[in-house]
A and B are shown apart, each in its own frame.
Chain A
Amino acid sequence: MAQIFLDEIAHSYLPETQKEDEYALKRIHNIWEDGGAYALLGPSGCGKTTLLNIISGLLVPSSGRVRFDDTDVTDLPPEKRNIAQVFQFPVLYDTMTVFNNLAFPLRNRGFDKDYIDRRVREVAQILELEPFLNKKAAGLGADAKQKISLGRGLVREDVAAILFDEPLTVIDPQLKWQLRCKLKEIHEKLKLTLIYVTHDQVEALTFADKIVVMYEGWIVQIGTPQELFEYPNHKFVGYFIGSPGMNFIPCSMEDGKVKIGNSLIPVDETTARLANAAEGKLELGIRPLYLNISDTPVDGAFEARVKGVEDQGSHRIVTVDFEGHPLKARIAENDTVPQGKAYLTFPIEWIRLFADEHLIKENKEN
């Protein structure tokens, strides 16, 4: 068990790199708490697998250091780092039985036979693999195979962290849910540090205590699912988290209010003050969930035109045209959907302003 400290990590796959664009990872500096369940979330190619491989030791970063607790492990090979990794596709030793697969990492480290036997049975019990112990690993289903991959990490008591690289890609949807629960259970029981790479926000939100959102080689935000939803640090987080993503409308400030087209939307004083001082392209962001929409004119509402409705089962998504910008709003299933004209209200507490794609907020917080 260990705290993982990434000290100014940067990585490029090219041998000589000058330009920032060429880095797959750009200056990552943060601490992963012992016993935390982290999800590394981001689109394909954002550098999340690169970061994972740097932590596991499969890659040596171009610059920066990796520390586990107080030990510098940057130059240590993976087998010396006490980490385990579960890959996207099940990696098994096909010719061995499940038992031998689980025993393999211990045998390689020269543990005695009784200890190995006891550990393997313990882990097999946790993972519900006991019935298969004497079967050839090759013949099992994808979910059992991923459990074995995970088990090869769990058998080692000294393991500091288990890293997952999109481990549920090949698993059937209904089994995905079961395996995620199992993971959660194991995390609570064993208090291991888990780092879970995924591009699926549902997976990240249900699995992790803290989500690390990556975008183009940067970590753009680390936070609880709620923090990411309510205070996205960056436009990308707003887009990427939530379904559908946050609405963004270009705007300007006038008289302490947000001006979009001819409409003036009131915001609270602090936000207005910060927005006036901010430089760069100004945008208003609001979650579809918090954008109120009604079919009759209400006080302080703005007129918009309904463009379409999407039924999503438990709720509906209404797309409206507001001052020439498309906006999405989420309404409950039994609410009436406005026809033609609709009236929008922007609750003051849910309005977020972004300057040059970054959230405008007071510096002292966070």
Chain B
Amino acid sequence: MGEAILFTLFSLSAVAFALGMVFRRNAVHCALHLVGVLLSLSGMFVLLHAQFIAAIQILVYAGAIMVLFLFVVMLLNVKGETPLLTPGAAKGFGFFFAFIAFVELLWIVVSQGGTEGEPAPVPALPPNFGSPAEIGKILYTTWLFPFEVTSILLMIAVVGAVVLAKRKFA
């Protein structure tokens, strides 16, 4: 029962913050709304037995990535766009295609469910499901090679960011 209440709370706040993020004019407000979405999702991760993911969601996303965003927002000092949305037919097409995509996603969710009209039952999980120890065990055995490739990717990204930001353009 409590889980259902928390789920409703987190999902409503996530959707509300997401709408605020897309339709606010001030970029700093948008960034703070995105932090709200990330925190709500972190709460949902805890409900889904993903405690480690919830923790790094706050540390990496709400911490590191959003600070980077806010730095750039304040560095660029972008004036509020007028008009807010892209003008002309492109706006109509944008909403139209987003609506089509939503209907498709909805259709997939509805058609892939469990038995007729009933949501699939939630399986019982072992008590240590999603704990850092269990995550670490499969991350450093089954997924060791992708993990090492990720480190190379991050190094390339850092080098690329420095090169792009320091280059003098004519």
Pairing of A with B: no
List residues of B whose CB falls within 8 A of some A CB: none
